[in-house]
Amino acid sequence: MSQTARLTVGDTEVELPVVQGSEGERAVDIRHLRERTGLVTLDPGFANTGSCKSAITFVDGERGVLRYRGIPIEQFEQSPNFVEVAWLLIFGRLPNGEEYDRFSQELTANANLDERMKHHFEGFPRSAPPMAILSAMINTLSCFHPEFFELEDSSQLEQAAARLISKVRTLAAYAYRNSRGLPYMYPNPRLPYVLNFLHMMFSLPYQPYEPPDVVRDALNLLLILHADHEQNCSTSTVRMVGSARANLFASCAAGVCALWGPLHGGANVEVLEMLETIHRGHMTPEEYVALAKGKEKKVRLMGFGHRVYKNFDPRATILRRAAERLFTELGVSDPLLDIARRLEEIALEDPYFVDRRLYPNVDFYSGIILRRLGIPTNMFTVVFAIGRLPGWIAHWREQSLDPDRRIARPRQVYVGETGLRYVPPEQRE
Ligand code: SDX
């Protein structure tokens, strides 16, 4: 197959190299386009533009495939372990025994916050959005770790990653505890990653929170499924900020801000609100789907559709199974899960969704699981950030090691006024 693309503009014709990825996807390399033709490309939302080469995650939106470092995500479903997947994404392979033990110990040893950081939480209004607190407090964390402003080698990156991945749980839990007027629970060094987070969220000084294994496994799996997704909006943000040589903490804090958007990580909150609106009887699933098809109200069927997946988001399929397993093993039912299933049935038979290839995405079922775990709705996207953090770190590291790395600085097509002159204030209308 041709390894070049020919572009003819007026009298100018250029041949551009075509690069091919390890899964066969191909791209026209346009890095010399402007210098050779004077042209730039225009691609709103970068739907057709590859920003980099990456070996971390592969997504095939047509076939509904998602692989972390070459491993299909379905293979993490049986005995989900978020810590080993975090290592896999960041360092490129599953950890051996020594690496796993060392990283786990680093996570345990670094779960606590500097006592001075606790006062920051009291400075926020009780109603402060947890994502605002999280992004602020990740940057605050960097003030206590100036040694990580410049990461010289893999060992330093591992230590910085361990601090971020460990402390993000504590930051999230303390933001929640402060909003409820509850005492902070110190991390318990005897608990593994997910159980320690749930302990800090829900234990009381006189009453430890000890959930069943099915809860531990559900949250491990949910974090794994959120851990990375190639060049999504928040990961591209982390890369963009990191490309300026901003430190890892600042780059991840920026990722939190991007993830907060309701079209991105904030969708899981919107899904729950949508399901609760229907559950409260304000409208039937059929009426809501009809509303989402109309354009006047800008209502969308939240948790449906995806820029890349034009087939089932494999994460949604796994999360639906996990939700059913969780409710069965807990011996409970949830009307919202029934409503979600009904919405899915209706949409998948409706030409509006079928023709646009809109299927359930990762957010469609995740909120139902989080709600059952007791996580409040306004903390859903924070849990998404806890899951996505290893992916952000992996991409920040991959970019920092890339010999081709340059500061990200896209071009534009200017369409504003031309040839105007300055008008002194007294002459203005
Ligand atoms: C995540 O990129 C990632 O990988 C993200 C993510 C990750 O892991 O990082 O996977 C996580 O962000 C998942 C997506 C969560 N967002 C939502 O669930 C919000 C609802 N979905 C959409 O708003 C939308 O589908 C997007 C934002 C996800 C994708 O938007 P696109 O690719 O820009 O598509 P579009 O907005 O141009 O829509 C194309 C058409 C439009 O209709 P027409 O103009 O053709 O008539 O599809 C319609 C849209 O109105 N459409 C929907 C819809 N999603 C798209 N109509 C109703 N309900 C929806 N959910």
- Measured by CA distance, the residue closest to atom 52 of ligand 1 is 300
The gap between the terminal CA atoms of the chain, to the nearest Å, is 62
User: Is 356 near ligand 1, meaning CB less than 6 Å away?
Assistant: yes
Give residue 130 CA to ligand 1 midpoint distance, Å. Answer: 24
Distance 210 CA to ligand 1 centre (A): 38
User: Taking 70 as the threshold, does the pLDDT of residue 2 lie above it?
Assistant: no
Name, in order, each residue with C-beta under 8 angstroms of 155's C-beta and a sequence gap of 6 or more: none
Mean pLDDT of the chain: 95
Q: Is the CB of 177 under 6 A from ligand 1?
A: no
368 lines ligand 1 (CB under 6 A): no
- Which residue's C-alpha comes closest to atom 13 of ligand 1? 264
- pLDDT given at position 192: 97
Q: Which of 307, 312, 355 to mutate to test the pocket of ligand 1 (most atoms within 8 A of CB)?
A: 307
Average pLDDT over every residue of 2-16: 92
Quick check: is 306 catalytic? yes
| CA distances (Å), origin 54, targets 229, 310, 320, 407 | 11, 22, 29, 17
Given the residues 199, 226, 229, 306, the one annotated as active site: 306
DSSP string for residues in 254-313? HHHHHHTSTTTTTHHHHHHHHHHHHHTTSS-HHHHHHHHH-STT----TTB--SS-SS--
CA of 304 to the centre of ligand 1 (A): 7
Cα(302) to centroid of ligand 1, in Å? 8
Alpha-carbon span 35 to 19, nearest angstrom: 19
Enumerate residues 6+ apart whose C-beta is below 8 A from 232.
264
Give CA–CA dist 100/286, Å, rounded. 49
Pocket lining: 307 vs ligand 1, CB cutoff 6 Å: yes
Distance CA 72, CA 318 (A): 12
CB 114 within 8 A of CB 174: no
pLDDT, one tens digit per residue, over 340-357 is 999 999 999 999 999 999
Looking at the CA of residue 230, tell me the nearest atom of ligand 1.
4
Residue nearest to atom 37 of ligand 1 (CA): 307
Tell me the pLDDT tens digit for each residue of 87-132. 999 999 999 999 999 999 999 999 999 999 999 999 999 999 999 9
Per-residue pLDDT averaged across 25-52, rounded?
96
Residue with tokens 């990156």: 157
CA-to-CA dists, residue 282 to 279, 294, 353, angstroms: 7, 18, 23
pLDDT at 1 over 70: no
Looking at the CA of residue 226, tell me the nearest atom of ligand 1.
8
Q: How far is the CA of 353 from the centre of ligand 1 (A)?
A: 11
Query: Per mean pLDDT, which range of 258-262, 267-271, 422-426 is the poorest?
Result: 267-271
Q: Going by C-beta distance under 8 Å and a sequence separation of 6 or more, which residues neighbour residue 181?
A: 126
Residue nearest to atom 32 of ligand 1 (CA): 307
Cα separation, 151 vs 246, whole angstroms: 11
Mean pLDDT computed over 301-330:
94
- With a pLDDT cut of 70, the percent of the chain lying above it is 99
C-beta 267 within 6 A of ligand 1: yes
Residue 3 C-alpha to ligand 1 middle, in angstroms? 33
The conformation of residue 317, written as its DSSP 8-state character, comes to H
Ligand 1 atom nearest 232 alpha carbon: 2
Q: Encoding tokens for residue 159?
A: 């230590």
- Which residues neighbour 390 within 8 Å (Cβ) at sequence distance 6 or greater? 85, 86, 89, 90, 161, 165, 227, 228
Residues in the chain: 429
- Rounded to whole angstroms, the Cα distance separating 220 from 217 reads 5
Neighbours of 27 (CB within 10 A): 16
Instruction: Read off the pLDDT of residues 133-164 as tens digits, 9 standing for 90 and up.
Output: 999 999 999 999 999 888 888 889 999 999 99
Contact 368, 334 (CB under 8 A): yes
Q: Is the pLDDT of residue 55 over 70?
A: yes
Predicted confidence (pLDDT) per residue in 222-242, tens digit: 999 999 999 999 999 999 999
Distance 308 CA to ligand 1 centre (A): 9
Instruction: State residue 54's pLDDT score.
Output: 97
Residue nearest to atom 31 of ligand 1 (CA): 307
Q: For the chain, what is the largest distance between any 2 Cα atoms, rounded to a whole number of angstroms? A: 80
**Would you say the CB of residue 269 lies under 6 angstroms from ligand 1?**
no
- pLDDT score for 282: 80
- For this structure, is 363 an active site residue? yes
Q: Pick the catalytic residue: 217, 228, 313, 363?
A: 363
Cβ-based burial of 378 (10 A; exposed 0-12, middle 13-18, buried ≥19): middle
Q: How confident is the model at residue 404 (pLDDT cuts 50, 70, 90)?
A: confident
Let me know: does 238 contact 52? Beta carbons within 8 Å: no
On whether the CB atoms of residues 130 and 378 are closer than 8 A, the answer is: yes
